[in-house]
Homo-oligomer: A and B are copies of this chain.
Amino acid sequence: MAAPDKKAIGARAFLYPMPTTLVGANVGGRPNYLAVAFCGIVQAKPAMISVALGRNHHTNAGIRENGTFSVNIPSRHMVEVTDYCGIVSGKKVDKSGLFETFYGKLETAPMIRECPVNMECKLVKTLDFGSTNEVFIGEIIESYAEEKYLCNGTPDIEKVVPILFSMYDNNYWEIGRHLGRAWCVGKKFNGNGNPENGYMGKSDSETLNK
């Protein structure tokens, strides 16, 4: 079946939204931090995360050197310093003084105290498809947050206020309104596959505020 209203827009990475993170690694014994949006969870338990870095970044050498790295979640008020970490290379500028660095169980994965959430990772696999990026997959050994960001022991996204990223247009966004509970709002859906069942055909504006 074709879809005449759909237009081919190129083989590009249109994932919406992406998270904006700061990936940390010690390079030659000095903490370095890079803004990274190419990341995703690859396993729930043991928890693993992938970060895909342009192959020429300074950070990559540090991840290889120590077999450790961190993924830090900056908050919206950190948008300037986060973007700055994506603009300047650790090869030219010492970024170790931009933040207060702390270490956890792995001892060599530098983490950013100012970021509401930190994950320290042990490298378990490196993927190289021979092109623009190197992919580092890490097992999350421990995570950290200040008490003020938590609700029942888990970070509260409304307190964290993370930064979203949209690629190609290159914009940062914050999170917006609550849409519903997962594994819950779907129970309202009458999934009988019938276009008259109340879902299909309704436009966003018709259904948004119901």
Contact = CB atoms under 8 A, between A and B. Distances in A.
A119 to B, nearest CB: 6
Among A16, A45, A104, A153, find the residue whose CB has the most chain B CB atoms closer than 10 A. A16
List the number of copies, as a whole number: 2
Interface string A79-97: 1111111111000011111
Interface in A34-54: 37-50, 52, 54
A182 B171 contact: yes
The main secondary structure of chain A at its interface with chain B is mixed
Contacts of A44: 13, 38, 52, 54, 132-133
Given A9-B150, A52-B43, A102-B6, A16 B81 contact: no
29 contacts: A1-B103, A2-B102, A3-B102, A7-B150, A9-B150, A10-B142, A11-B139, A13-B47, A15-B41, A15-B119, A16-B157, A16-B162, A40-B42, A42-B135, A43-B52, A43-B132, A50-B50, A77-B202, A80-B180, A80-B186, A81-B186, A81-B189, A100-B200, A170-B182, A172-B180, A172-B181, A173-B175, A173-B177, A176-B177
